Amino acid sequence: MIKLDFSKINGGLLPAIAQDYKTGEILMVAFMNEEAWKKTLETGLATYWSRSRNELWTKGLTSGNTQKVKEILVDCDLDTVVLKVEQIGGAACHTNKRSCFYRKVEEGKLIEIM
């Protein structure tokens, strides 16, 4: 298995970015520990470590909005990954939006763009 560097954030976490494999849109960012990384590789479903629930989190197992991993990119320092995914159900965000990044900064305020 490809060894990543889980040492930089306390708790052995690294950021994982889910990006739509067709459009390039960034859908969400979550964290992985080594167990989540291993499970993602084994199952082909994006699996993170939930910092709020403190448990392994295969995205969409309860909501149905799973993320099929099409490609994985790894950065220069081996401490961040990009998952190019097919977002099942059309919503990555718990707000039911397509992406968690549904707001942009404009004149010092946040405005919704989707």
Query: Which stretches of the chain bind a copy of itself, using CB under 8 A?
Result: 1-2, 8-10, 15, 17, 19, 23-26, 28-29, 41, 51, 71-77, 80, 82, 93-95, 97, 100-105, 108-110, 113
User: Of 35 and 42, which has the nearer Cβ to a copy of itself?
Assistant: 42
- Work out how close the CB of 64 gets to a copy of itself at its nearest, in angstroms, rounded to a whole number: 18
CA distance 110 to 45: 32
- Work out how close the CB of 108 gets to a copy of itself at its nearest, in angstroms, rounded to a whole number: 7
User: Of 61 and 73, which has the nearer Cβ to a copy of itself?
Assistant: 73
User: Of 64 and 108, which has the nearer Cβ to a copy of itself?
Assistant: 108
- Work out how close the CB of 41 gets to a copy of itself at its nearest, in angstroms, rounded to a whole number: 7
- Cα 17–19–22 angle (5° rounding)? 165
Token pair for 14: 């690294």
- Work out how close the CB of 58 gets to a copy of itself at its nearest, in angstroms, rounded to a whole number: 18
CA distance 94 to 96: 5
Residue entry with tokens 């994985």: 72
Q: Which helix or strand (DSSP H or E) is residue 38 part of? A: helix 34-43
CA distance 88 to 42: 19
